[in-house]
Amino acid sequence: MNIRSVEKSTWIFIIFSLLLFIVPFIVTGRSMQFIIIQIFIFAIFAMSYDILLGYTGIISFGHVMFFGIGAYSTAIIMNNMDATVLSFFVAILVAVIIASIVSFIVGALTLRLKSHFYAMLTLALAGLFLVAAEKWRSLTGGNDGFTFRLPEILRESHNLYMLCLIALILFFFGLRRFTKSPFGRVLMAIRENEARTESLGYKVLHYKVIASVVAGVVASIAGVLYALSLRFVNTGVFATDLTIDVLLMTIIGGVGTLVGPILGAGLVEFAHHWLSGLSNVHWIFERWIILYGTVYVLVVIFFPLGIVGTIQSKFTNRTVKGLRDNRKTVGK
């Protein structure tokens, strides 16, 4: 590989990810490390969402179901098999297989629909998964959930940090390569103008389904890591709140940028931590979702490109069509 052909931004990202390897030696507090681990996990989840929303222009309100599939397959396998590294790999494999099958079926059935229908349908499907997890008590433990044991090596907070960081870096560079590939370009073409992409001879549905499978699999891995970090799982992993969280992360950070969702995950997780710490000060902070929702609504109206997107558009005049304001066409 010719070292000169590597983009300047890639070097920045590499340096930054190397720096993150040093962090656990500086930040040794367990609770702080836990927060950073959560940020990594949600960054992976938000990046997978960005493949759908930011790159392909698909709004899914059910992305949380893949996250939940990952979390539950880990928890159930770890609970029923020996707590070894081997069963961890089995869990990953099972999560990936189930998530890809589900995302393929959901995508193939529903992605030909208009954005409204797709959003509603995915919301309803995620609701179905939530109900199923609550009803199937023998397997999932219902709303109370259950704890499970981890292999020795993953119990150490330090090792878990490294695992999540490596996963984040691999997925970041992998997805970045994916979006810059010819395939990723077609996805962006679909986002900009679906009809034109179709008439250029691309089978739009195929591309959309593959995008949703990729996003689903990555989200399921995030779910696996989430279950690992908590050593506990309950129906909360299918909750709509989580979808809103990941939407907020993606949108605040900047859709269609991949870096944005990581930044957004950091901001939202820290804000969450900070606000729930404030609940002793005033009871209103227990209802931090109100603040979240309000910020989210304001961001969608006034700040649709997000942090990274706004900075980028200052430099390159780039716009994201799906979220850009186009008031001229009333309705339709």
Partner 1 sequence: MDLIISLTVNGLATGMLIFLLAAGLTLIFGLMSVLNFAHGGLFIWGAYTGVWSFQMTGSFVVGIITAIITGLLLGLVTERLIIRPVYGNHIQQILITLGFMLVLQEFIKVVFGPDQKAVFPPEILQGSFLVGDIVLIKYRLFIIAVGILIFIVSSFILKRTRIGLIVRAGVMDKEMVQSLGINIKLVFMLVFMVGAAMAALSGIMHAVYSGVIYAEMGLEFSILAFIVVVIGGMGSFSGSLFAAILVGLAQAFMAYYVPALSLAVNMLLMTVVLIFRPQGLFGKG
What is the contact surface with partner 1 in residues (CB under 8 A)? 53, 57, 59, 61, 109-110, 112-113, 115-117, 119-121, 123-125, 127-128, 131, 135, 240-241, 244, 247, 251, 284, 287, 289-290, 292-294, 296-297, 300-301, 304, 322-332
Query: Token pair for residue 116?
Result: 């409204």
| Angle, in degrees to the nearest 10, between helices 64-80 and 85-110 | 150
Cβ at position 21, least distance to partner 1 in Å: 35
Nearer to partner 1, 72 or 292 (CB): 292
Nearer to partner 1, 111 or 150 (CB): 111
Nearer to partner 1, 36 or 268 (CB): 268
> Which CA distances in Å does 133 have to 65, 142, 201, 312?
11, 6, 42, 42
Pick the closest to residue 237 from 65, 117, 80 (CA basis): 65
Query: Phi and psi at residue 215, in whole multiples of 5°?
Result: -60, -40
Query: Token pair for residue 278?
Result: 């404030």
Cβ at position 159, least distance to partner 1 in Å: 36
Q: Would you say 201 and 47 are in contact if contact means Cβ atoms under 8 Å apart?
A: no
Nearer to partner 1, 200 or 297 (CB): 297
Cβ at position 248, least distance to partner 1 in Å: 8
Cβ at position 301, least distance to partner 1 in Å: 5
Pick the closest to residue 52 from 127, 126, 130, 118 (CA basis): 118
Cβ at position 240, least distance to partner 1 in Å: 6
Residue type, 322: G
Nearer to partner 1, 112 or 203 (CB): 112
